[in-house]
Amino acid sequence: MSRRFANRFHLYAIPLMSSRLLATERRAITGLAGLYATRMLGLFMVLPVLALYAEDLAGATPLLVGLALGAYGLTQAVLQIPFGLLSDRIGRKVVIAGGLVLFIVGSLVAAQATTIGEIIVGRCLQGSGAVAGAIMALLADQTREQVRTAAMATIGLSIGVAFAIAMVVGPLIASSFGLSGVFWFTAVLAILSLVVLWRLVPAAPRRAQHRDVGLDRSQLRSTLTRSDLLRLDFSIFSLHLILMAAFVALPFRLVDVGIEAEHQGWVYLAVMGMAFVFMVPLVIVAEKYRRMKVTFLGTVAAMTLVLLLLGELGHQRWVLIGLLLAFFVAFNLLEATLPSMISKLAPAGAKGTAMGIYSTSQFLGAFLGGVLGGALAQRFGYDAVFLGTALLAAVWLMVIWGMPAPRHLSSEVVALEEQEGDALDTLMARFASVAGVEDVLVVPEERVAYLKVDRQRLDADALARVAGSRHTHRGA
């Protein structure tokens, strides 16, 4: 972009009251969070039941069951970035609707399956509706910069809630209607999501690139060469590999200790509820008291030990339930803190690119976890699944052991408007001169400035003066 064009942008201050949600923003956040949650609910409900109920399918083996569990991750990983880029060209709602249709088709194929191969095809089709990036981009289109962080947090919370509900609802539906009933239910949820998309979510006022949400191809190489970010990519890869592999064996282990399939949902309900209660203080320690690295290393070490004990000692009911609780405390804690660490470490304006790579790593981990768990179960038995994943967790611990403690930086996005004014370099320098502002990227074509700030050191008054001294009008 030419310097002349860059010179035409000024910062304008946003009044505090404008951080309140507008009616259209509230509708968009509610609708898209619900849409995202129901889609993930459909994917997750299969986890606690597929291994048990697939035994009635023709051709089922532990390896193929594991492949069916993780198959959605492969198509998600391959297609999520192309779908996000396609939404930039032809429109968010069109791409999201198309992805939901693919998800519905996959659910219907799996619901009518009589062989494990048909289940695998259905799961691949479910995953091919890879619209997570398009949903986040539409949410960014629908929200102003000053409320976007809260909007994204709502999406993140909805995913966690969906996972917890899926662990309970999946076994309950399967016990009454079989495995096909779970897939019929996911198809109905996806159809309802289509209705929500077109009736509740308002039309986007614009379609733009958002570097805090979407992938920026110009930043891809530099992001992939950051060792600190790669450690976190490997972490989410390992976490979801372990999760998917564990669910090849966990349902059978619960049956072995006398908890039949129709009652397992209640076990997951109790365990997930308690895990959430135990997780919250640990998140507070990590975030508020800035003990992120210690918490991270301790949690991975704890997960390594729990997996080892599941393989060696998890054959008694209460020991198994206690280990299951410890596993989900560790899993939920890592699932909550890893995205926060990505946000802290990503350079200003590169958060969307970093999260795109991170999400791809997550889905690849889910795919390989199903395959690895199935292969270990088929070749060596279910104890080997836990011991094999314990070995992976130990490798994971070694990979992250030497990482520097992440700086506790927060992302800020400040709106710009087109006006005559200072040069781009001057604008960046004025932001950088404020105490507590650690990184700045001004992107005139998006009309925003991306900042990384240390809130404990931030001179909010100085930042407000920079904003106030430059605005030509005030508005939302």
The yes-or-no verdict on residue 457 having pLDDT over 90 is no
The yes-or-no verdict on residue 455 having pLDDT over 50 is yes
Rounded to two decimals, the pTM is: 0.86
pLDDT band at 467 (very low <50, low <70, confident <90, very high): low
Question: Considering the chain, what is the average pLDDT of its residues?
Answer: 84
Which one, of 247, 250, 303, 235, lies nearest residue 275 by Cα?
A: 303
pLDDT tens string 183-239? 999 999 999 989 888 888 877 666 566 666 767 777 778 788 889 899 999 999 999
For helices 23-44 and 145-199, give the axis angle rounded to 10 degrees. 70
pLDDT at 242: 97
Q: How many residues does the chain have?
A: 476
CB atoms within 10 A of CB 199: 8
How far apart are the C-alpha atoms of 241 and 85, rounded to whole Å?
Answer: 27
Of the CA atoms within 13 Å of residue 465, those in its CB half-sphere come to: 9
H or E, element range at 90 = helix 62-90
Contacts of 382 (CB under 8 A, 6+ apart): 248, 249, 252, 253
The yes-or-no verdict on residue 442 having pLDDT over 60 is yes
The CATH T-level fold of domain 218-408 is Growth Hormone; Chain: A; (1.20.1250)
H or E, element range at 441 = strand 437-443
pLDDT at 435: 83
Is 218-408 the same fold as 3-12+409-468? no
* Per-domain boundaries in the chain: 3-12+409-468, 218-408
Q: 220-228 long-range CB contacts below 8 Å, 24 or more apart?
A: 220/353, 220/357, 222/350, 223/346, 223/350, 223/353, 223/354, 223/357, 224/357, 226/345, 228/345, 228/403, 228/404, 228/406
pLDDT band at 21 (very low <50, low <70, confident <90, very high): confident
pLDDT band at 424 (very low <50, low <70, confident <90, very high): low
How far apart are the C-alpha atoms of 324 and 314, rounded to whole Å?
Answer: 9
pLDDT at 129: 86
Which one, of 93, 159, 101, lies nearest residue 125 by Cα?
A: 101
pLDDT tens string 38-52? 888 888 999 999 999
pLDDT band at 419 (very low <50, low <70, confident <90, very high): very low
How far apart are the C-alpha atoms of 306 and 326, rounded to whole Å?
Answer: 7
Instruction: Identify which has the larger pLDDT, 262 or 241.
Output: 241
pLDDT band at 288 (very low <50, low <70, confident <90, very high): confident
Reply yes or no on domain 3-12+409-468 having CATH 3.30.70. Answer: yes
Tokens of 240: 């979801």
Query: Which residue is associated with the tokens 């020991």?
Result: 319
The yes-or-no verdict on residue 151 having pLDDT over 90 is no
